[in-house]
Amino acid sequence: MATIVSDLGGVEKFVWVTSAYLVTEMAAMPVFGKLSDMYGRKRFFVLGIFLFLLGSVLCGTAHNIVELSIYRAIQGIGGGALVPIAFTIMFDVFPPEKRGGMGGLFGAVFGTSSLFGPLLGAYLTDHIDWRWIFYINLPLGILSLALVYLFYRESMEHSKQQIDWWGASTLVGSIVCLMFALELGGQEYAWDSALIIGLFAGAAVLMAVFLYVETKAEEPIISYGMFRKRLFAASTVIGLLYGAAFITFAMYIPIYIQGVTGGTATQSGLILLPMTLGSVAAAQIGGMSAARTSYRNIMIFSAFVFVIGTALLGTITPETPHSLLTVYMIVAGLGVGFSFSVLGMAAIHHFDMRQRGSANSTMAFLRSLGMTVGLTVFGIIQRNSLTGKLSDSLGGGMPGEEGQMGDVRQLLSPENRQKMPEDVMDRIVDALSSSISHMFLWALIPAGLSLVAVFFMGNDRMVIPARGGQGKPQPDLGKQGS
């Protein structure tokens, strides 16, 4: 982002580049999920790819930060269609006996892309040009578009009903207000400013209207009936809690490497590799295990390991060996990896083709919401802890401006470390390390709550038809509760 801002200017507006994408993506998820149930997956999946590619091309041609933000919003609309519909298509296309393996593969891809994407973007920015972080989407996107258009044959079983326009508009409005409040609060505007308070109030009012409208709609965007299914309700809550805690690993471990140990930007990205490998392995194991044991049993193990991994990361100090941090990252990756595949399968377990898109988009939406809220809340905790510790150790704050995270990372770059008095550098490093470990301990709250929520999932497991073509479930497949 620093490279983009230095090229395009508009440092005071750079936060909109991220905000625009997140806002439109999250707003589009439940709407596209519902529309895919009503009118078919293919048309909206193709539309999503097209909009994502269009946004990518436009982003690469941006001349200023405002243009880039607008084009990122277009990209986000496309992403909002792709994320939930892709997993739903997999469930529609593959027979039950293959869904576990494919679910594991999808989960592994999700985990890998979430962790490797920023690293690839940093490499392209450093060695080619930042515009290629957008242009690189074109060859893969065009290939995907061609394959889907030519070879995907979907069932014509859809429930074409009246679109819930009031529900869609109030939900989108509420999400837009909430996301802008979370993204801009504490950065461009103070949390107690009139704008941020107004955005939170607008989000609350529109959400209240949305919840009322959904009780009257014939075909609501998010049906309350889905949440009467215990497995679905528990899975969405777990997804939200996992997202809130998991995002702290991906964001703050690289900061720890770069700011505390003095690693380069590339090294700070590579440190996520152990967690990536752990999450990929766990996603595959979880997907293949779904037919052998209940979703709850898998997620109990996942949540238990997740809590352990979070707690271990809460113990890191400037003296923590790199090898030990690698072990902690593997444990954390194993814990979160099961959720990438298992929660998606569990969320749509009780729904047929006419409801899977809506169920899966709701799951994806709540996971993304958890990540956004978690990043904001835990970011505030970390910054406040860092500011307090710097004030105590340096008697008035660190050199520079206000002790913000970006300032600390810049201050502790390899070049600046050589210019700084050793005792000052040690105090800043200790403060940064302590604030990050302190934040990880706070992340134990959503991690622990997810372990509690797992016990409400019931005993459902994936049902595979018996061999021999009889089409009946195998015996002892677990209780099919709601």
156 confidence band (pLDDT: 50, 70, 90): low
Q: What pTM does this model have?
A: 0.78
301 confidence band (pLDDT: 50, 70, 90): very high
Query: Would you state the pLDDT for residue 440?
Result: 93
For 5-51, the pLDDT digits (tens) are 656 665 555 566 776 787 788 778 888 887 887 777 888 888 999 99
**Residue 178, in any domain of the structure:** yes
Same domain, 15 and 89: yes
Same domain, 317 and 191: no
Same domain, 45 and 176: no
- Distance between CA atoms of 364 and 199, rounded to whole angstroms? 23
**Residue 372, in any domain of the structure:** yes
259 lies in which domain range? 10-149+219-454
Alpha-carbon torsion angle 415, 418, 421, 426, nearest 10: 80
- Distance between CA atoms of 408 and 394, rounded to whole angstroms? 14
Query: Would you state the pLDDT for residue 343?
Result: 87
For 43-97, the pLDDT digits (tens) are 888 899 999 999 999 988 888 877 888 888 899 889 888 877 887 887 777 776 6
For residue 465, give the 3-state DSSP assignment: strand
Pair of tokens at residue 229: 């299914």
DSSP designation for 472: P
**Residue 154, in any domain of the structure:** no
Same domain, 194 and 259: no
**Residue 460, in any domain of the structure:** no
Same domain, 195 and 213: yes
For 115-125, the pLDDT digits (tens) are 677 677 777 77
| Chain-centroid distance, C-alpha 350 | 24
CB count in 10 Å sphere of residue 175? 26
For residue 321, give the 3-state DSSP assignment: coil
For 157-173, the pLDDT digits (tens) are 555 566 777 887 888 78
Q: 39-43, 82-86, 366-370, 474-478: which has the minimum mean pLDDT?
A: 474-478
CB count in 10 Å sphere of residue 39? 16
Q: Give phi and psi for 189, each to the nearest 5.
A: -135, 150
For residue 185, give the 3-state DSSP assignment: strand
